[in-house]
Amino acid sequence: MEFEKYPFEKLRALFAPLSPAPLSPIALTIGEPQFSTPKAICDALVANVAKLNKYPNSSGEATLKDAVCSYVSRRYQVALTSSEVVLTFGTREALFNLPQFLLFDKPNPTIAYPNPFYQIYEGAAKMARARVLYMPLVAENGFSPSLSPASLESVDVVILNSPNNPTGAALSFDSLCEWVRLALAYDFVIISDECYGDIYENEPPASILQACIAVGNTSFKNILALNSASKRSSAPGLRSGYVAGDSEILQHYMRYRTYVGCAVPLPLQDAAIVAWNDDVAAKEARAIYRANFALAREILGATIAPYTFYVWLFVGDDIAFARELYQTQNVSVLPGRFLGREGSGAGFVRIALVYDTPTCKEALVRIAKVYEKMSKK
């Protein structure tokens, strides 16, 4: 079996023959917050490091599950029972193995996900030997995924990603409600990747769990929402995530996970409890991202979605732009075509504004020089 090269591997190959400008390098390629993890989280990790002498339970500690349920209640006003939550080692592993689990018994499995997309979706589809239905994200449809009636009849699993990586768009509450109705009417499972749900400028984006309540699907049938502390708590190394929703699915998925071996070490779970309970740090990080986006609009003069920390910028030739930016400004961005298939994403670059505001301002000024130059060609 052969997997597609990861976007960052493609970027290294693209830049390999080039010599960057003699300026301080700024990499705006990966969605990794470049801020110190809050001290309280680090202190909790250090204070509990002696627990490394114990095996963690596959199901995770009840105290961490309580913290996650409390977070969901505060953030989304949704009350979850213990059976409606599974703790995960971040969400990347769950986004990879959950589709495989759901599709294993399907004779001709079919999965749909947005295009462009987070490449783990593709790996999961490949491992499940599933037919893929791409849901194009383009400016003309507001970067909003959809499926035809025929596709709705055949699909088994749909992955939604709102707020979206890489476009920064978020599905409206009405759209999420319609997706829930479709999942019930056509009997497919939705995996809603909501890892950027706490990164927004003003109005918080909705969760599909809220949409379930609104349409009367109080048992979350066919609906699974995933989230992580990585972005909200500037703690990607903490590896704390969850899957929430349909308890009937989750009880079987939990048993499957005992074989997967992705239990979170106990000191990390203790630190994660602090992270999920700390809304102040998330608010402080949002303030920085908000300032970065205001600068991006001012300096680039471009329309920028108010969610995630990505700028999805149309530049015409994304490969040529990325090369020119690296060679003349020593700033790295990700060509959009590396994130899509069948030409999706071409013409755009993804810019991750994950640094402090002064660093992002310097990067944006450098980007603007190339943006202005190439737009005149």
Q: Is the pLDDT of residue 375 over 80?
A: no
Give the pLDDT band of residue 376 (cuts 50, 70, 90).
low
Q: Quote the pLDDT of residue 254.
A: 97
The token duo for 205 is 């984006």
Are residues 70 and 63 in contact, defined by beta-carbon separation less than 8 angstroms? no
Q: Quote the pLDDT of residue 325.
A: 98
- The pLDDT tens digits for 128-143 are 999 999 999 999 999 9
What is the DSSP secondary structure assignment for residue 108, as one 8-state letter? S
Are residues 196 and 308 in contact, defined by beta-carbon separation less than 8 angstroms? yes
Are residues 266 and 40 in contact, defined by beta-carbon separation less than 8 angstroms? no
What does each C-alpha distance from 280 to 193, 263, 287 come to in angstroms?
Answer: 23, 28, 11
What is the DSSP secondary structure assignment for residue 240, as one 8-state letter? E
> Which distant-in-sequence residues (6+ apart) come within 8 Å of 237 by Cβ?
37
CA–CA gap between residue 195 and residue 180 (Å, rounded): 19
The token duo for 98 is 């959950």
Are residues 37 and 238 in contact, defined by beta-carbon separation less than 8 angstroms? yes
- The pLDDT tens digits for 274-327 are 999 999 999 999 999 999 999 999 999 988 999 999 999 999 999 999 999 999
Q: Is the pLDDT of residue 377 over 70?
A: no
Q: Quote the pLDDT of residue 1.
A: 81
CA–CA gap between residue 64 and residue 229 (Å, rounded): 12
Are residues 230 and 268 in contact, defined by beta-carbon separation less than 8 angstroms? no
Give the pLDDT band of residue 374 (cuts 50, 70, 90).
confident
Give the pLDDT band of residue 78 (cuts 50, 70, 90).
very high
- The pLDDT tens digits for 317-362 are 999 999 999 999 999 999 999 999 999 999 999 999 999 999 999 9
Q: Is the pLDDT of residue 268 over 90?
A: yes
Higher pLDDT, 102 or 373: 102
- The pLDDT tens digits for 156-183 are 999 999 999 999 999 999 999 999 999 9
